[in-house]
Amino acid sequence: MTTINVGHVSDLSIDSVELPYALTITPDLVRNLKTICIVNLDLSDNGIVDYKQASLNDGIRHHGNWLFKDLRSVELLDISENNIWYFPDELLNAMSNLSSLYISKNLLASIPVQLNSHTNIKILDFKNNLLTSVSSTITNWADWMQQLYGMTFKLDGNAFECNCNNVDFIRLIHTTKVDLDSRPYNCKLSNGTVIDTLIAYNYLHDLFADCRHTVWLTLASTLLSTFFTISLLLVVYRKRWKIIFSIYGIIRRKVERKVRKSYQYDMYMSYEGEVVIWIKDVLVPKLETEWGLTLCIKDRDFLIGPSLADTEAESIKNSRSIIFLITPEFKSSRDCLFELDRAKYEKIAKNLAYYCHYKRYYNI
């Protein structure tokens, strides 16, 4: 079998009573098939073929690229007048020998770009669809097919638009060597007026004078956007460290505010000897009363009873920072040296935010 023609099979005389059999199209049956004609297809409940959805478009939607995967020998495919509006990218890839394709009287808004992979097409019928334009990919491919074999391209009855985006297509209609079914096609201007493409071609500069302004406006906008983007990137690059440190500062302050809640003290005072008088008279009023910080002062805050070393270690752990007041007495104090070692440990363990050393004390 090389041909299946079921065009216009919708006659009431063909039903399951008169033809009580079914034709099952198998891969073996279609392997050598060269022509399929399915025009105005309505084959449900007629005993020949039963489409569950009663629609070729639904079959394409449901089966996609697998629908025609075994039709490798087909040379002519006619699927006109089937309300097709969905066309997968690889639907016809299996038909490497396809030379004639009829898809007229459907609902396609564009010609599938996948057709440019077919190198044997001589007839392409897209009449009476919903095309508003034809892409440059398809027109270039059609010119190539014309050079190879000669090509017939049928586009009449579509809803072409005559606007700035279609200027190249309007020119091509009247300059291409492809055999078109009609040189002047009807097209609609932006104001709704319907003219033919020959008039549009003859008055191209008058009808589309504003397109030049649109091109320049688009170019100017593109250049301005590019300049602004480059300038912004340069500013960001020059200020990158400042921006990084600013972001780091914001993140750090937020983290510190959360971490501070878990500390019992803001500062641990490490000292020895009479410097406690300076702490009491100067630091406490300044840091606690004026700045609102909480200091840990061992002569004031340590309770009698627990081990002094344990109390110092626990207090340092519960302090956000530590200040060392370095005096002659400090250097000879074992407690202060222990506090210094403990502060280093807490710093490594990241329980301590920072610590400061003061070799002598001043009035703040």
**Residue that terminates a domain, selected from 208, 229, 254:** 208
Q: What is the per-residue pLDDT across 209-223, written as a single tens digit (0 to 9) for each?
A: 777 666 566 777 888
Q: What is the per-residue pLDDT across 51-72, written as a single tens digit (0 to 9) for each?
A: 444 367 777 887 777 777 777 8
Q: How far does Cα 82 stand from its chain's mean position?
A: 34
CB 15 within 8 A of CB 47: yes
pTM (2 d.p.): 0.52
- Let me know if residue 225 belongs to a domain: no
- Let me know if residue 258 belongs to a domain: no
**Residue that terminates a domain, selected from 172, 189, 208:** 208
Q: Determine which helix (DSSP H) or strand (DSSP E) holds 219, and give its type and residue range.
A: helix 210-238
Q: Compute the C-alpha angle 90/92/97, nearest 5°.
A: 135
Residues 163 and 274 in one domain: no
Can you read off the two tokens belonging to residue 149? Answer: 């074999």
The count of structural domains within the chain is 2
Enclosing domain of residue 134: 3-208
Q: In this model, does residue 17 exceed pLDDT 60?
A: no
- Let me know if residue 184 belongs to a domain: yes
Tell me the helices (H) and strands (E) count for the chain, helix number first.
Answer: 13, 14
- Let me know if residue 196 belongs to a domain: yes
- Let me know if residue 244 belongs to a domain: no
pLDDT at residue 139 in the model: 93
Q: What is the per-residue pLDDT across 132-187, written as a single tens digit (0 to 9) for each?
A: 999 999 999 999 999 998 999 999 999 999 988 888 899 999 899 999 988 889 99
* Residue 122 vs residue 164, higher pLDDT: 122
Residue 282's CATH number: 3.40.50.10140
Q: Compute the C-alpha angle 27/30/35, nearest 5°.
A: 160
For the chain, percent helix, then strand, then coil, each to nearest 5? 40, 15, 45
Residue 44's CATH number: 3.80.10.10
The CA R_g of the chain, rounded to the nearest whole Å, is 43
- The arithmetic mean of pLDDT across residues 30-35, rounded, is 53
Which of 109-113, 237-241, 249-253, 295-299 has the weakest average pLDDT?
249-253
Residues 178 and 298 in one domain: no
pLDDT band of 244, cuts 50, 70, 90 = confident
Q: What is the DSSP string of 34-99?
A: -EEE--S---TTSSS---TTS-HHHHHHHHGGGTTTT-TT--EEE--SS------TTTTTT-TT--
In three-state secondary structure terms, 296 is strand
Q: In this model, does residue 94 exceed pLDDT 70?
A: yes
In three-state secondary structure terms, 322 is strand
Q: In this model, does residue 48 exceed pLDDT 50?
A: no
